[in-house]
Amino acid sequence: MRVLVSGGAGYIGSHTVVQLIAAGHEVVVVDNFGNAKPAVMGRLDTLTGTHIPMHAFDVTDKDKTEHLFATERIDAVIHFAGLKAVGESVQIPLDYYQNNLESTFSLLRAMRRHGCHTLVFSSSATVYGDQAPVPYQEDYEPLGAASPYGRTKVMIEHVLRDVAHIETDWRIGVLRYFNPVGAHVSGTIGEDPQGIPNNLMPFIAQVAVGRREKLQIFGDDYPTPDGTCQRDYIHVEDLAAGHVAALNRIVNSDDPIRTWNLGTGTGTSVLEVVKAFERASGQPIPYDVVGRRAGDLPAFWADATRANEELGWHATHTIDDMCADTWRWQSQNPQGYDDSVEE
């Protein structure tokens, strides 16, 4: 199939592009480079051995999105594009609601106008909110997130459900990610957050490579085995494979919409991640334990049974793989993509 990947120059999008092409699909990327570097595209061409058509604009632009569908044959869409920083979303909520919702509306309308009804949507475990029993299961209701970012994902899931309920020729896969980490085994592409990383793994990687002095651990007084929060870290390559599997499933499905958790089903603590990274990198990760971060939950992980059974998909990478692959990317690219001369 010819797949449009919105946000295809981003962290998860770029890894998914590689796996889509490896699976025999053609890919077209659209990205506004708001949270990605143009250098990624040259690396993707190198990794895949093909030139990937690229459109540089924001899919909230309805006219440009319409023009893309009018000029490119698109069989399916994987929609990653959107603003995704939880803390930032609290500061600029209108930007988050407008960008994340309008980009989805713009794509859905252009898809419908051009007879393209196959969509994989990038959602997040954050939609489970803070009351859901662990492990999280897809049928849990009510959805509810604790940040404007998370609420945009909840809203979009509801939009997709309501559209698919009445327009039953849609084939929509909703994927709820847990904590994506890691990098392509070559070290050629990886996570390259702009500014100070919000997330644990990229921050640890920047400490290991000498860009940051030490890690701050946000609380070790949680009701968990070692007092630090537990999360379901999933390797970005497993996550990318989940998108390929979901695409293959929905095109052969009778369900207009279906939701799957993409997680390992295992919780790993902050301290366990630190120790695994030290093993993988051979670098000490100095840290201070400081106060809890607002909004953090003590522990959650996925029930991935539905994806295992319905997609034939399983996460295969261990936390040690995740740390080793992150370290290879970071040590080969200490400044991220800024190291590279734009191809």
Cite the active site residues: 149
Q: Which two tokens stand for residue 187?
A: 């070290």
The smaller minimum CB distance to ligand WQD, of residues 39 and 273, is found at 273
Q: How far is the CB of 219 from ligand WQD (least distance, A)?
A: 7
Q: Smallest gap, in angstroms, from Cβ of residue 201 to ligand WQD?
A: 6
Q: Which is nearer to ligand WQD, 60 or 152 (CB)?
A: 152
Name residues whose C-beta falls within 8 Å of residue 162's C-beta, 6 or more positions apart in sequence.
none
Residues in touch with ligand WQD (CB under 6 A): 84, 86, 124, 126, 177, 179, 198-200, 203, 215-218, 229, 231, 270, 293, 296
| Alpha helix segments (H runs only) across the chain | 11-22, 39-48, 62-71, 86-91, 93-113, 148-166, 200-208, 236-250, 270-281, 305-306, 319-332
- The whole-angstrom separation of Cα 153 and Cα 161 is 12
- Residue 302 DSSP symbol: B
The CB-nearest residue to ligand WQD is: 229
Q: Which residues contact 190 (CB under 8 A, 6 or more apart)?
A: 11, 182, 183, 184, 325, 326, 329, 330, 333, 336
Q: Which is nearer to ligand WQD, 199 or 331 (CB)?
A: 199
Rank residues 198 and 248 by Cβ distance to ligand WQD and give the closer one: 198
Minimum distance from residue 53 beta carbon to ligand WQD (Å): 27
CB of 66 to ligand WQD, least distance (A): 28
Residue 81's nearest CA partner among 35, 126, 125, 19 is 35
